[in-house]
Amino acid sequence: MKVSILGASGQLGTALQLCAPPHTHIRAYTHQQLDISDREQLTAITPCDVVINASAYTAVDQAESNIPAAVAVNTIGPALLAEHCETIGARLLHISTDYVFGPEQPQRPLKPEDPTGLPATVYGRSKLAGELTLRGRPEVTTIRTAWVYSGNLLPDHRDFLSTMIRLATGDPAQEITVVDDQYGNPTYVVDLARALWDLVAEENSAELLHLVGSGQATWCELAREIFQAIGADPQRVRPISTAEYPTAAPRPAWSVLASSRALPEWRNGVFRAVTGTL
């Protein structure tokens, strides 16, 4: 099996390489090596069985003031990549996000077939537009995921978990405030990577899937679980509202996804991420 991974230096791209099945021939491309919004650069991807696109502009707040950069990577890039994959005869697995859902959502796990509504952020709108460019294309599967973390497994990749680990191991008298009215699915990057390799092994898969950790939590609940796993006092984490923590890009209040495949429960992932284990 020959597989090309784009966004190879990111959290997911790195985890995909760590979890690759034996006898898989991988060609890994970082964003610095290959810009998916550049048609000419895409010709560097030679014929293979599957292309996994883990490349994305994910700076949610910065996207609000840098729309062209977000659109180039999240919207234009996937369309050009899909065309190239058709040319070389490769299946495409494209990674998307819970941010494609707009703010008015039913308070239940959201299914792939649920209407997204209008996303509230530039990032979300650019990712949704990228999804739409792929609809109806043969041999393309879009996978939405959410709240991805790696913690001590990939310490060079800063994420919510690594931030909470740093705070948990700092001043024991310091109180940490974390938003407690946003709900989602914490997803350990290893579990996501393994689920994607399962999709690679399948000859056919649905056009649109959700892959997230089992269960739901708020950011505050996630933070307290991290403190608990570290051996710090979880009561140091004080809940606050979204209104008390303003950001340039509004965060979804509800982006709990119904996973298309069963991934491990999120607390199990937190423990492994804190201990740096697969």
3-state secondary structure 205-267: CCCEEECCCECCEEHHHHHHHHHHHHCCCHHHEEEECHHHCCCCCCCCCECCECCCCCCCEHH
Percent of the residues in the chain that have a pLDDT greater than 70, as a whole number: 100
Q: Whole-angstrom Cα distance, residue 189 to residue 54?
A: 12
For the cut 90, the answer to whether the pLDDT of residue 232 exceeds it is yes
Identify the pLDDT of residue 277.
94
- β-pairing verdict for 187-188 and 237-240: unpaired
Active site residue 57: no
Q: Whole-angstrom Cα distance, residue 80 to residue 93?
A: 14
Identify the pLDDT of residue 205.
87
Question: What is the per-residue burial (b if ≥16 Cβ within 10 Å, else e) of 223-241?
Answer: bbbbbbbbebebebbebee
Sign of CA pseudo-dihedral 142, 54, 99, 126: negative
Q: Whole-angstrom Cα distance, residue 94 to residue 115?
A: 19
Identify the pLDDT of residue 158.
87
Question: Which residue is listed with tokens 């209008």?
Answer: 118
Task: For 70-88, write each residue's pLDDT tens digit.
Answer: 999 999 999 999 999 999 9
For the cut 90, the answer to whether the pLDDT of residue 260 exceeds it is yes
For the cut 90, the answer to whether the pLDDT of residue 138 exceeds it is no
Question: Which residue is listed with tokens 């065309």?
Answer: 83
Mean pLDDT of 164-188: 96
Question: What is the per-residue burial (b if ≥16 Cβ within 10 Å, else e) of 32-61?
Answer: eebbbbeeeebeebeebebbbbbbbbbebe
Domains delineated in the chain:
2-148+185-210 (3.40.50.720), 151-183+215-275 (3.90.25.10)
Beta carbons of 4 and 50 less than 8 angstroms apart: yes
Q: Which residue in the list 123, 149, 188, 245 is annotated as catalytic?
A: 123
Question: Model confidence at 121, in pLDDT bands (50, 70, 90)?
Answer: very high
Mean pLDDT of 90-109: 97
Task: For 41-65, write each residue's pLDDT tens digit.
Answer: 999 999 999 999 999 999 999 999 9
**Token pair belonging to 137:** 């294309």
Left if phi > 0, otherwise alpha if psi is -120 to 50, otherwise beta: which for 206?
beta
Lowest-confidence range among 123-132, 168-177, 180-189, 257-266?
Answer: 168-177
Mean pLDDT of 258-268: 98
Question: Model confidence at 32, in pLDDT bands (50, 70, 90)?
Answer: very high
For the cut 90, the answer to whether the pLDDT of residue 204 exceeds it is no
